[in-house]
Structure 1
Amino acid sequence: MNAHRAIELAARESYGRLVAYLAVRWRNLEAAEDALADAFVAALQTWPRTGVPDKPEAWLLTAARRRLIDGARRRRVQEGAAQEMLAMTEEAQRRADMDRSFPDERLQMLFLCAHPAIEAQVRTPLMLQTVLGMDAARIASAFVVKPATMGQRLSRAKAKIRDAGLKFGTPERDELPQRLQAVLEAIYAAYGHGWDDLTGVDPRRQGLAEEAIYLGRLLVRFMPDEPEAQGLLASMLHGEARRSARMDEAGTYVPLLEQDVSLWSSAMIEEAERCLSRAAQAGRIGRFQLEAAIQSVHADRARSGRTEWESNALLYEGLVRLAPTIGAMVGRAAAVAEARGAGEGLALLEAIPGDTVRDYQPYWALRAHLFMWSGRDEEAREAYSRAIGLSTDPAVREFLKRQAATAGEVNGVGN
């Protein structure tokens, strides 16, 4: 394999796992990130000359450990920390010799980032950067803040972890409820970013959806009786079940209502429904169970041939009451428009504060569709222009351009 390609693959697939492994043992998140960054730089310098090692992760971990140990010696840290790193070196070498994968401590890191001492607004962004490897600019876009502002928040949070000596590891059982919501939100946001990269053109998003589902399954195993963990996994599985139907053989984007249901994964849908059923047994409804229930209504089209839009509209009403996110409010408008007419959907869109949707592409795409549905072609074209400008995926852009060119025709909403 080409050295640069191997390094890119290692960064995408192993970054979060390696940072978590190093940070949990070194008890310094910033130092772990810096050491791993140095290890990747060393790989860029070394692998093109020497070839890609048989075990790239082991090579990177060894290089990062050496930098941490060297830094500890230079700073004259207490002998115990250096000895711990030396012991870790021996442990990792034994694991490599036995051809075993590295222990996955990302779940511990997720719960650490949800520590109550860290500001609530930065917990989920911190997880997205530290555990899932998303850059500050992309996280800032997701949370509708300036990149510089998000960067400052993340830096402060990491300094808080370091200076306060926050415990690295899974919290006590009675601490889990207050930390769980931020963990669920981070996994869900990671899945959403992977899902949005329809054509796979953004290397920073490749594998992110699969990683989120893996973490969702890990969380369900860790907390099998937590209904929201089951709901989160169910929602992601329902979405993933439709992946192969989102583009046709020509690479053209296919919206939800036009998808060939025979291409949906029945195995994933069945697994999602089992998760949703287990969640219902707890008798505690929550945001992610409602998200999954909405997806379940869509999935039922594979059986019945139609979508129960009124049911979805009611589910969205509950979701907006529990979690009034921009995505939930736009989704409610779409469902209400399908169930009760474009006018009611547009009224709900108009009620969303303008500053929150200025750069939110799904809002403008739905607004354009509802204008076109209502025969307001000029307004539709203006909204489509805005949606096209905000689209990062080429297949979605082309779809919207075709829609804008055929103002007056009605197509189903959804994705």
Structure 2
Amino acid sequence: MHEAARRAAERAARDSYGRLLAFLAARTRDVAGAEDALAEAFASALKSWPEQGVPSNPDAWLLTVARRRQTDAIRRRQTSKAGEAHIQLMTEELEAAGTSPDAIPDRRLALMFACAHPEIEAGMRAPLILQTILGLTAIDIAAAFLIPPTTMGQRLVRAKARIREAGVPFAIPEREDLAGRLDAVLDAIYAAYAKGWTEIGDTAAERLADEAIWLGRLVVSLLPDEPEAKGMLALMLYAEARRQARRDTAGAYVPLEQQDIELWDEKQIMAAEALLREANQAGPTGRYQIEAAIQSAHVARLVTGRPNWDSVVALYDVLLGLTHSPVALLNRAAALAETEGAEAALASLDAIEGDRRMADYQPYWAARGHLTALAGRKEEAHEALTLAIGLSTDEAVRHYLIGQRTALQDG
């Protein structure tokens, strides 16, 4: 019973965290306070559910406990009649919502746009969304954005305080104010998907990927005229369509070029293609449309068997012009090796060789190991692959790279 109750609390934390947090924070605009209240509610669940049993409505139970903690904290800060009236109104709203999970309004998208408000530092908007909506730690977020964890944690605290201080509204902005805030929302959703995509075999990570796709669909449904939202959803669906092909029957990692395309999900690929066509017809081309177009080109190449690497390199050139991203340059180098050879690809990496963020970025060293091996520079390849192996968190990828290094040693 104890183990079942613990699993139920953990499942509720995974499945309901963002929805409950968004609801709790919507009226007070105190994200940090809502996080504290919800954390105490989950701690109470872990303590009481094993003894008293899992409630029939876990979300309502958690919301009730969190609401009590939240109102107690507000009472300690507000003693005026106006403050008491505010607490009473909030309490009534929360009690009404707590009677059923279906009655809890889903305010996650509103919270996402609050986190992307101009009052929040531009570079912290997407990280803030990842923590508030999906509950990622500062360490996880720091890795995704190539920022030291301590620095990320401090900036997240300041950003949450700014929402409260500035009275940032929890609402989807008007059309004229949308452009400057949508990018951060899309970046956060895709960063969440990328984390879930990378950590194959991890149930929590796969659930994170599913959540990201759900949020992507939500944004597209609410903002159907935004081409970049469709581009991002298409990009995620192209990747998701290949999920089953990324491991063989023994669980070994299978790179894109060696995947069995019969294992790809054709329905998801067709949905991605349709979204990309709609996005390209709707307006100016952005980052996600280009990245989705690159994935479409890879799909076409592997399905038809006709090389189109020149087109892939050209698309990466456009992407680099838009983003100046070292990750885009890294991926471009892998494509360039197919058209101009490994030495040309390695030369293109010179632009980011001195970038300190690459020092512990596993894909950089994996790509460098692959390219130097192709170029016959065995000593450099061995060193790069060794670093990539050490930085790998995925055991299947680690074993694949060890195999690459062994093959290098064997000639």
| TM-score scaled by length of structure 1 | 0.94
Retained in 1: the 8 A contact 2:64–2:95? no
Retained in 2: the 8 A contact 1:26–1:81? no
Q: Matches of residues 381-392 of structure 1 in structure 2 within 5 Å?
A: 381-392=382-393
Distance 1:54 1:353 in 2: 56
| Secondary structure, aligned partner of 1:281 | helix
Retained in 1: the 8 A contact 2:197–2:206? no
Retained in 1: the 8 A contact 2:199–2:394? yes
Distance 1:301 1:261 in 2: 11
**Quick check: 127-136 or 306-315, which moved more?**
306-315
The equivalent residue for 1:169 is 171
The equivalent residue for 2:139 is 137
The equivalent residue for 1:280 is 280
Distance 1:248 1:102 in 2: 42
Amino acid of the structure 2 residue aligned with 1:388: I
Amino acid of the structure 2 residue aligned with 1:405: T
Cα 1:93–1:126, aligned 2, differ >3 Å: closer, same or farther? closer
Q: Matches of residues 285-364 of structure 1 in structure 2 within 5 Å?
A: 285-354=285-354, 355-364=356-365
**Quick check: 230-239 or 104-113, which moved more?**
104-113
Cα 1:306–1:396, aligned 2, differ >3 Å: closer, same or farther? farther
More relative contact order, 1 or 2 (CA 8 Å, 6+ apart): 1
| Secondary structure, aligned partner of 2:360 | coil
Retained in 2: the 8 A contact 1:372–1:409? no
The equivalent residue for 1:68 is 70
Please state if 1:92 is matched with 2:94: no
The equivalent residue for 2:26 is 24
Amino acid of the structure 1 residue aligned with 2:399: E
More helix by share: 2
The equivalent residue for 1:413 is none
Amino acid of the structure 1 residue aligned with 2:108: R
The equivalent residue for 1:82 is 87
Name the % identity. 54
Retained in 2: the 8 A contact 1:72–1:82? yes
| Secondary structure, aligned partner of 2:147 | coil
Instruction: Please state how far the C-alpha of 1:173 moved relative to its aligned partner.
Output: 2.3
The equivalent residue for 1:183 is 185
Retained in 1: the 8 A contact 2:330–2:364? yes
The equivalent residue for 1:55 is 57
Instruction: Please state how far the C-alpha of 1:307 moved relative to its aligned partner.
Output: 4.4
Instruction: Please state how far the C-alpha of 1:409 moved relative to its aligned partner.
Output: 8.9
Amino acid of the structure 2 residue aligned with 1:242: R
Instruction: Please state how far the C-alpha of 1:305 moved relative to its aligned partner.
Output: 2.5
Q: 1:8-37 CA distances to partner (integer Å, 9 max, x unpaired)?
A: 111122111111111112321111111000
Instruction: Please state how far the C-alpha of 1:306 moved relative to its aligned partner.
Output: 4.1
Retained in 1: the 8 A contact 2:97–2:103? no
Distance 1:326 1:102 in 2: 41
Distance 1:193 1:133 in 2: 13
Cα 1:325–1:43, aligned 2, differ >3 Å: closer, same or farther? same
Gaps of 5+ in 1: 411-415
Amino acid of the structure 1 residue aligned with 2:11: L
Instruction: Please state how far the C-alpha of 1:180 moved relative to its aligned partner.
Output: 0.9
Distance 1:292 1:93 in 2: 40
**Quick check: 5-14 or 189-198, which moved more?**
5-14
Cα 1:206–1:11, aligned 2, differ >3 Å: closer, same or farther? farther
Instruction: Please state how far the C-alpha of 1:7 moved relative to its aligned partner.
Output: 1.5
Instruction: Please state how far the C-alpha of 1:337 moved relative to its aligned partner.
Output: 0.9
Structure 1 residue runs of 4 or more that deviate by more than 4 Å after TM superposition: none
The equivalent residue for 2:43 is 41
Instruction: Please state how far the C-alpha of 1:215 moved relative to its aligned partner.
Output: 0.7
Cα 1:206–1:270, aligned 2, differ >3 Å: closer, same or farther? closer
| TM-score scaled by length of structure 2 | 0.95
Gaps of 5+ in 2: none
Query: How many residues of Structure 1 are paired with residues of Structure 2 in the alignment?
Result: 405
Amino acid of the structure 1 residue aligned with 2:63: L
